[in-house]
Structure 1
Amino acid sequence: MAEHPLLAQQAGSLGGVVVLDLSRVLAGPYAAQFLADLGATVVKIENPADPDVSRGFPPYLRHGDEEFSGYYAQYNRGKLGLALDLRSEEGKGVLRDLVAQADVLVENFRPGTMDKLGLGYDSLREINPRLVYTAISGYGQTGSRSRRPAFDNTAQAAGGLWSMNGYPDQPPVRVGVTIGDLSATLFGVIGTLAALRHAERTGEGQLVDVAQVDSIMAMTETAVVDYTVDGKVASPSGNEHAWVRPYELFPCADGQVFFGGYTDKLWRASCELFGTPEVAEDPEIDTMRKRFDRETYERRVKPIILEWFAGRTRAELEELAGDVIPLTAVRDIGEVVDDPGTAEREMIVEADYGDFGTLRMFGQPIKLSATPANPARVANRMGEHADVVLAGIAGYDEQRIAALREAGVI
């Protein structure tokens, strides 16, 4: 690889790893961004006639009449940009040349799309046998449903999670974030790193097949075994846990807190903290098993807790008990961003977008002591690094790059 500063080996655990990111919107781009944060050189490849649609998603950084999507920036930071027409034979040839030098390729098209272009895994591994090809899709690369279109809500619906979320006796409610995409992101990163380790050790790449529906199903906690063992079908339970009590949301003077003092040890500590030590010895509710009984919980335990919290603010409750028992204020996102604890964990980082201003976004939750991540970087403008990528990775000279640009391939 050429010694252009943008292509110099990055610090971090994945320094020297080259990733081609052909994905769009969230699950794939976020997976590739994790790799970029951890030191990989990631090239974002977009269709010049149909760029990543998330470039149009709000919120927007603005400079005059120009806009730059904060959504896109948060999930594509630290990547190099290449606009490449894969419908053309020249564009396909460029991708193959890049694949020959790459370690990982990430895509999240509907299964079969890359094969139709002649750029599927079976084709590309002939060029680079050590290539890790990560394909994230709705239903996976195999099975009778594999060609179906899918979004996040598809995964929440087909994976069972939607049916479990919400309140009893009401229609189920989708999880309020795109958990289908986000869960597939995490499993995609795990699979990619495992496959990359194998490729580095053996020289053998492989297909990493991650489905949103599979990912959601793997996040339904005990719902599967509840059904296979006891025939119980999970249903919405609101803010309560299915069987652990107390373990839910409670009102206080200025909002709500989560309180989870369900074990005997935590219950006794709670009774002491709130000045009612005698409650811990009450023979009707003195054991965890007794407090789990719903009728007993509603009649005896919950009123005690409501009385503890009445008249106290979230801050007062956390100050009194937060260091001893699981008692946590329910904060809105503004409070989270501005919380000193968030800054202590470097979970808000800043990227300088020049005339557009500074973008504050979430940082990298993986904290590595020897090779820390580098999340405080800007996202690429579409195609802005074409010369650097094609010269430094594919080895093209200026004349060839100019010819590709003249032909509209890049």
Structure 2
Amino acid sequence: MDAAILANIRVIEFAGGIAGPAAGLQLSEAGAEVIRIETPGMADYPGSVLFSVLNRGKRRVALDPDTADGRVALVGLIAGADVLLHDLTPAQAAECGLDDARLAATYPSLVVSAIGGWPRRHRLADAPARETLVLARLGLLDEQPGHRPGPVFVRMPFAGWLAAWLCAIGVMARLVARRRDGRGGIAHTSLAQAALAPMSMHWSRAQTPTPVFAKGLSKSTPIPLHRCADGEWVHVHYSPDKAPWMAQALAAMGPDAVAAENAKYPPSHVAPNFGANKAIMATRPARDWVEHFWQNDVAAQVAAPFGAIYASEQARANGYVVEVDDRVRGRVRQPGPAYLSDPPPRVRGALAAPERAPPHLPPRPEPKAVAPKASGAPLAPLAGMKVLDLGAYLAGPFATMLLADLGAEVIKVEPPAGDAMRRLERIFAGTQRGKLGVALKLGEPGARAALEALVGWADVVHHNIRLPAARKLGIDYAALQVLNPGLVYCHISSYGPKGEQKDWPGFDQLMQAACGWEAECGGQGNPPMWLRFGVGDYLAALSSVFAVLLAHYRRQETGQGQAVCASLLGATLLTVAESVMLPDGATTPVAQLDQAQTGLSSCHRIYRCRDAWLAVAALGARETESFARLAGSTRLACEAWFAGQPRAAALAALRAAGVAAEPVLEAQGEAFHDDQDHAAAGLHARYRHAVYGDLEQVGAYWDFGDLPLRLDRAPPALGEHSREVWERLGLGPEQIAALEAQGLTVLTNAPGTHS
């Protein structure tokens, strides 16, 4: 068996919560040796289910850095490492002697990735890294619709999971750059940057917006989650009107009754007969509807209980569910790796007992640059990588946008009629910056020469088109490998590359439903609720980028390309790690959101003060005790304490007592772009767009210190760079003219064309 891709990499993990350990898990299962440091002050409960999943297969070392022996041991571990992964704030890192400047001077080849609550240049950089507080301060608790007016507590810790992937990607990008430059450096990210990733489709501002761009996508848009005759709920994506049962029922209702049902709800951009669909869905059991929809190529899923996904044959067929011998719980089902590469990632065993004595590690040899030292300005981490983006919608294009941010040159190919997502202009623009835009009608004989030129140019081909369609278009791996044997080819599917559902349509909403997050986000006793942030798409995108960088790293050693893949199901299922399935088929319980959608406990929730909302996240024993002394020990007492005073007074009292809290900001879509703290931290990006004029969007997702990111090219208008690209790839004037004459390309952005 070939050695794992990261077999020669050693990682020191010094982090708690979700993001750091989950990033360490990805590096471990890609082959790295991960040594996890556990200190007496860490708040993580080692007996929890989540802890047992995130830290499986790692070496656990008990160490107290507050003692002289502990500090010596920590220095020895770092000296023997390639990567240090931690979640210390800048002030905490300096106190421990792990600040960036000191590490760079002492260990010049070390890659350091810190996951804070906020970027290191933000005014809140030293605030506690607690997701609820970050979301509150950013205004994202107000972006999620709820079963009542006002901001709601977001049950899914999506920022932590996204930050884990951003960290793992940052580490890989730095390792790639280290081979080029012969030195390490930082690759920091934060919960705030991760939380802002999904807002790239909502929070943007244009100097001259079109009406569609200006409108955006309202959080009041009705979500097609329908209650069925048996009380279960089904999430349907796009209109189900052509499915025979639905078509027959709509005809039987008649146009007047259909119109009356539709009038009960706001218009839906995905289902023109939303109200009538809802009434008709209530006439049959949920499972009957889902099976009927599947038979008729309508994407749908039952909003399942949390953890039920472990019984999915589709998930097990793709290794997204694995069996692990847990020392406490027996042989349990847990989330498996979310992507596939060659060699594949593998689970490296259950949670091990901690070692009381730190291992002795020999110092790592200094890496040598494989290229001559660059003169002049430093290069972005992935400078020189060439990526062909054949994807559409969200997951595929966002992945390639991140590669562009990291310095890769990306050419986006879309049909002459435009990417299907262009009709939602703000969402489209949020996944396309940094790319050269080319229009080409794939699958046509006349377009073959242009496609071959693109593939011959590329190092990476990335897309999320269903594979049967990809084969018809001639862009499957088998077809493209012939043209470019060294290609790294990445595909994002909905349900994974194996199993009965491998070619089925699927969307983020359906993965949230299948994995139980819609049930949990709704709150106890309430209907399920979709998390509006589209997390499944973003998780799949990030996992695919990690897979691409692993394959690229491998190719630097072997010269050989490979096909890698990721999926919406695999990436979303990983977030179910709060629960596992026991040998008897039962699933372990998880903390549930209350019916009012305000929180999980009296000390971790949002409270309504006299004038506004406030978020509290007192997660440690000392904070919990301080909070109880201040506000009360019961929920009713706490609610009364907060309701009796203005937010500013409550916040001041909490902070004086050492309790972590933040205001729940509201209506931040515009305010985000004017916030100077966000600007100073690199959270803004601005460029000139062909249609919108000055375009402002969410900015950097990483901080690489001495290496720049590429955030200087606006999303392309349709066909904006076609002529430039065709000429660069060697197509002659007659070939280009023929492509245009046959309607196979667009050479300029025609009037009225969406951005």
> TM-score of the superposition, structure 2-length normalised?
0.45
In the alignment, which residue of structure 2 is the partner of 1:134? 490
Q: 1:267 aligns with which of 612, 619, 624?
A: 624
Q: Which residue of the partner structure matches residue 447 of structure 2?
A: 91
State the one-letter code of the partner of 1:325.
V
User: 2:722 matched to 1:404?
Assistant: no
Check conservation: 2:602, 2:635, Cα contact below 8 A: no
Would you say 1:305 and 2:638 are equivalent positions? yes
Structure 2 residue aligned with 1:53, among 416, 420, 430?
A: 420
User: In the alignment, what sits opposite 2:603?
Assistant: 246
CA-CA distance at 1:160 after TM superposition: 2.7
Q: Structure 1 residues 325 and 345, CA, compared in 2 at 3 Å: closer, same or farther?
A: farther
Paired with 2:570 and 2:495, the residues of 1 have a C-alpha distance of 7
Q: 1:40 maps to which residue?
A: 408
SS of residue paired to 1:93: helix
Q: Residue 718 of structure 2 aligns with which residue?
A: 382
**Out of 395, 398, 401, which is 1:27 matched to?**
395
Q: In 2 relative to 1, CA 24–386 (structure 1 residues): closer, same or farther, beyond 3 Å?
A: same
Aligned to 1:126, what secondary structure does the other structure show? Answer: helix
State, as a whole percentage, how many aligned pairs show the same letter: 29
Q: What residue ranges of structure 1 are gaps of 5+ in the alignment?
A: 1-8, 58-68, 280-299
Structure 2 CA distance for partners of 1:143 and 1:346, relative to 1, 3 Å: same
Q: Distance in 1 between matches of 2:661 and 2:383?
A: 41
Deviation at 1:122, TM superposition (A): 1.7
Moved more, 31-40 or 212-221: 212-221
Q: Residue 349 in 1 paired to residue 685 in 2?
A: yes
Structure 1 SS opposite 2:522: coil
Number of corresponding residues: 364
Counterpart contact for 1:349–1:363, Cα < 8 Å: yes
C-alpha offsets along residues 213-234 of structure 1, whole Å, 9 cap, x if unaligned? 1111111241235798963365
Q: Which amino acid aligns with 2:522?
A: G
1:135 and 1:322 map into 2 onto residues whose CA distance is 48
Select 1:17's aligned residue among 385, 398, 422.
385
Q: Among residues 698, 706, 709, which one is paired with 1:373 in the alignment? A: 709
Spell out, residue by residue over 1:62-101, the C-alpha distance to the aligned partner (whole angstroms, 9 max, x if none). xxxxxxx333222111211111111212313321221122
Aligned-partner Cα distance in 1 for 2:584–2:697:
42
Q: Which amino acid aligns with 1:384?
A: E
Bigger CA drift: 164-173 or 311-320?
Answer: 311-320
Superposed CA deviations along residues 254-306 of structure 1, whole A, max 9, x for unmatched, are 2222212132222344467x4x8xx8xxxxxxxxxxxxxxxxxxxx3334533
TM-score by length of 1: 0.80
Q: 1:336 to 1:269 in 2, by over 3 A?
A: farther
Q: Distance in 2 between matches of 1:10 and 1:123?
A: 37
RMSD of equivalent CA atoms: 2.8
* CA distance in structure 1 between the aligned counterparts of 2:559 and 2:641, rounded to whole angstroms: 62
Equivalent-residue separation in structure 2 for 1:154 and 1:211 (angstroms): 13
User: 1:174 corresponds to which residue?
Assistant: 530
User: For residue 698 of structure 2, what is the aligned residue in structure 1?
Assistant: 362
The Cα shift of 1:154 comes to 1.7
2:504, 2:591 → 1: CA distance? 26
Partner SS, residue 479 of structure 2: helix
SS in 2 for 1:351: strand
Structure-2 separation of matches of 1:37 and 1:72: 16
Q: CA deviation at 1:172?
A: 1.2
Q: Aligned AA for 2:688? A: D
| CA distance, structure 2, for counterparts of residue 355 and residue 126 of structure 1 | 39
Residues 376 and 219 of structure 1, relative CA distance in 2, 3 Å threshold: farther
* Alignment check: 8 A CA contact 1:348 1:363 kept: yes
1:45: Cα distance to partner?
A: 0.2
Change (3 A) 1:216 1:95: same
SS at match of 1:112: helix
SS of the equivalent of 1:215 reads helix
User: Can you list the C-alpha shifts for 1:132-187, whole angstroms capped at 9, x where unaligned?
Assistant: 11111211222110121112212212233223221111221111221221221121
| Structure 1 pair 10–77 and aligned structure 2 pair: CA distance change class (3 A) | farther
1:73–1:221 Cα change, 3 Å? same
Partner of 1:65: none
Cα 1:321/1:184, change in 2 over 3 Å: same
**Counterpart code for 2:472:** K
Letter in 1 for 2:678: T
Report if the CA contact (8 A) 1:20-1:102 is conserved.
yes
Question: Could you say which residue in structure 2 is the equivalent of 1:101?
Answer: 457
Distance (whole Å) between structure 2 residues aligned to residue 264 and residue 89 of structure 1: 68
Give the structure 1 partner of residue 473 of structure 2: 117
Amino acid in the other structure paired with 1:29: P
Map of 2:438 onto structure 1: 82
C-alpha deviation, 1:379, in angstroms: 1.1
Indicate how the Cα distance of structure 1 residues 319 and 21 shifts in structure 2: closer, same or farther if over 3 A, else same.
Answer: farther
Contact 2:598 2:607 in 1 (8 A): no
After superposition, where does 1:179-328 map in structure 2 within 5 Å?
Answer: 179-224=535-580, 231-232=587-588, 237-238=593-594, 239=597, 246-270=603-627, 274=630, 300-322=633-655, 324-328=658-662
Distance 1:396 1:355, change over 3 A: closer
Provide the rounded CA distance (Å) in 2 between the counterparts of 1:208 and 1:227.
Answer: 32
SS in structure 2 of the partner of residue 77 of structure 1: coil
